[in-house]
Amino acid sequence: MNYFKLTSIAILAMAAAVPARFASDQSAANYDPSWVLASVNGTQHYFHRANGKIMLSDDIVAYPSSTRVLSSQTQAQVAKAMTRSTQEDYDEIVDVTVQVWPSSTLTYAINNDLPSDQQAAVQSAVKRWNDSKASWNSNIAQWDGKVAYRFVPAPQGKDPMVLFVRSEDTNCSANLGKPGSASDGPAKVYIPSTGCRTGSVLHEMGHIVGLTHVHQRLDRNNFIKINKKAFDYLKEKHPSFYPNMVANYRRLSLNHGNPFSFDEQSLMMYHPYAAATADIADELVKQKLPFYTHYDGSEIVKVNTEYLTDRDMFLIKRKSMFRFWPAVNIKPR
C-alpha cells in the first residue's frame, strides 16, 4: 500500500528528470559486428563483443575468468542462428553465476583519464547510492532499510575493488558482481567519451553488486509480453542491430534467483523502446512498436531512470546476505 503512495510521489518528483530521448546510454548502443561463441557456466551461447569485451547482455561485461571463448563469429552467422532460434519466442536462457562481494564496504577509485565533469557524475552517483534508503518496512530480518554495500574511496596505495574507467564504447557498461578470479583485476564500470548520466552510473553500480535486468528475469513472461512485431520490424529495417536486440532480451537464470515481485520501475529495467540508437528508438516510438508491453498489451510507462527503487534495494540486501553463506554461490549442474 505504502509503496503505491510513495511511487506516485516519486513519479511526480522524477517526471522532470525523464530525458526527452530514450536513455540511449542505457540501451544497446555498443554496436560492433564482432561476436563470439562462448561457454558460460557450461552452456554455449553467442555473445556480442564490444572493443574486446564480451557482453553477457547489452551493458553487462563478462569477466574473462568466467567465459571461455570457443570461436569468433561473423554477424551474418549469428543473425542466421538467432533468426532460427527466436522464430517462436525470444526466450533463450543463459545461466549466470553471480559471485557476491565478501564485505559490505566496496572501495572504489576513479581513473584520472575521466574528464572532470564525468568524475563529478560518478561522485554524485556514489553519493546517491550511499544515501539510498528503502521506504518500505520489510520482513528482511534486522534490516534498517539502508542500501547494502557502501562505496568508499580506496585508501592511498591500495588497489580498489571497483574502478571507474574510460572506454571506447558508445554506452555505459559494467561487470557483474565480484570478479571470479584475481586475474580479472578490479570490477569495472566503463564510461564512454560521451559520459553517463548519474542515473546510468547508478544502474551500472547495480550490476557491480550483482543485479541484472528486470526485463531479463527468468519469470518475466508472467508479467510482460515480448512484442514480436518490434523484433520483426528491426530484422527487416535494421538487420545489423537485430542480433544485438535479441541477445539483449534473453532470459538470465541466476544462482541467487529473485523472489521479489516484478518491478517495472526498477532502475534495472529498460525503457520499452530502448534500442540500439536513439534514432531507432524514435522510429519505434513513431511506429508504436515497443519491445514489450504489459501482459494485456497495455503500454508500460517507464518514469524512473534515476533512482534505486525499494525492490532494487531489497534485492541488493538479499544478495549481500549471501556473503554469509558462500556455498550458495556454487551452482551445481
- Interface contacts to Zn ion, rule CB under 5 A: 59
CB of 87 to Zn ion, least distance (A): 26
CB of 159 to Zn ion, least distance (A): 25
CA distances from 284 to 57, 272, 279, 332 (A): 21, 10, 9, 41
Question: Which is the catalytic residue, given 88, 204, 236, 264?
Answer: 204
Q: 215 a known binding residue? A: no
Give the residue from 162, 263, 140, 247 showing the smallest Cα distance to 209: 162
Q: How far apart are CA 254 and CA 272, in angstroms?
A: 22
CB of 105 to Zn ion, least distance (A): 23
Position closest to Zn ion via CB: 59
Q: How far apart are CA 277 and CA 157, in angstroms?
A: 40
Q: Which is nearer to Zn ion, 59 or 310 (CB)?
A: 59
Contact between 113 and 167 under an 8 Å Cβ cutoff? The reply is: no
Q: Which is nearer to Zn ion, 59 or 169 (CB)?
A: 59
The alpha helices in the chain, defined as continuous H runs, are: 2-15, 75-85, 116-131, 198-208, 228-237, 242-248, 278-286, 310-321
Q: 48 a known binding residue? A: no
Q: 207 a known binding residue? A: yes
Residue whose C-alpha cell is 553500480: 205
CB of 297 to Zn ion, least distance (A): 26
CB of 274 to Zn ion, least distance (A): 10
Which are the contacts of 139, defined by CB distance < 8 A and separation ≥ 6? none
DSSP 11: H
In the structure grid, which three cell numbers stand for residue 151, read together? Answer: 562505496
Indicate if 204 belongs to the active site.
yes
Q: How far apart are CA 150 and CA 129, in angstroms?
A: 8
Q: Which is nearer to Zn ion, 23 or 226 (CB)?
A: 23
- Which residues sit in the known binding site for Zn(2+)? 203, 207, 213
* Active-site amino acid positions: 204
- Which residues sit in the known binding site? 203, 207, 213
